[in-house]
Chains A and B, each alone.
Chain A
Amino acid sequence: MNEILATILSATFVAAVIRTTTPILFASLGGLLSDLVGSLNVALEGIMLIGALTAVIVSAHAPWYIGVLAGLAAGGFLGGVMALFHLRFKADIILVGFAINIIAAGGTVTVLNYATGGDKGTSINIPSKAIPELDLSFLGNIPAVGPFLSEVFSGHSYLTWLAAFMVYAIWYFLYRTPEGLRFRAVGEYPPAAEAAGIAPNRLRTYGLIASGCLAGLGGAQLAMFSFVGFTRDMTAGRGFIALGAVLLGRRHPIGTMVAAVLFGFFEALSIALPGILQWMPGELIHTIPFVVTVIALMLSSRRRLIA
């Protein structure tokens, strides 16, 4: 037990939490934007997967930031496709989301097969690039807390800092700009928004595209920093956990971030635990983030019902 506490309180573990949180945070912020306009985006998982593969393949032929942008663009495109089918052709948003997930699961393996010349499992023989680390080791010069700070904050992906900034930017947009007010109104009660002269479908389209872009960034971070290279089904439920984070975070950017950090914490824990608790079977450790999501979802919803 002491050993676990010592691990959790260490600077390396905090840094690991930041790393595991980043992809989930991007996807959750995406889920938040689409959920607020009333189109629950269950395709986050599939969009992350496609974003990850796109980023890997493009980064093999271009600088890393072009790879990241390609992941973002692929995500935005898929968000646009969802908006087209949901808003224009009146398909159920949940079914559209699942169709995207299914296309992503099969499509990424198919494309990977052609991109690698026959490998259906990983992109290991594609020379893809990684997102560089942002070096903040100068923080180590601060007396007393310096070494701790530098270990926690130095060496993260550029995208981690972008994700943290996006939490603020999305909060500012939603709560401090008129467009953000309209954005929230559409999800709250569409007829009222419509009566006030807001076109719900236009905002929903923006919401879905933005949501796709953010999930695509999450995928890029996953395949170009967390792991370098693409493996089939590498998102492993992170998109759905992100959806849980949106619901758990009460559809508020700060709450969503807190929930994403919570899930990141348990993911990092499930990575660190096998080294400490050797008697505990790996499969059961692997279920920790999922069990936590279910329990957190139940508990948070309960409080809302009572309140």
Chain B
Amino acid sequence: MLILTRRPGESLYLGDNIKLKVLSVQGKQIKLGLELPEEMTVYREEVYLRIKEQNRQALECTDQDLLQAATLWQRKESE
């Protein structure tokens, strides 16, 4: 891992088109500003990992449990 020290107001460039600026440090919180290409998405790690786990679970159900769940919840035909 590359380790760098920056002060508030100082920035880093990642490659040609990502700028990461340290805006402020207050206690344990660091506020970061990012300038990114328009179509680049950014995830907070804990959210990314939670969704990854949910996706894995959505993939793992057995056919038998799926059929049983499907009978527990039927599509509403009348609405």
- Say whether A associates with B: no
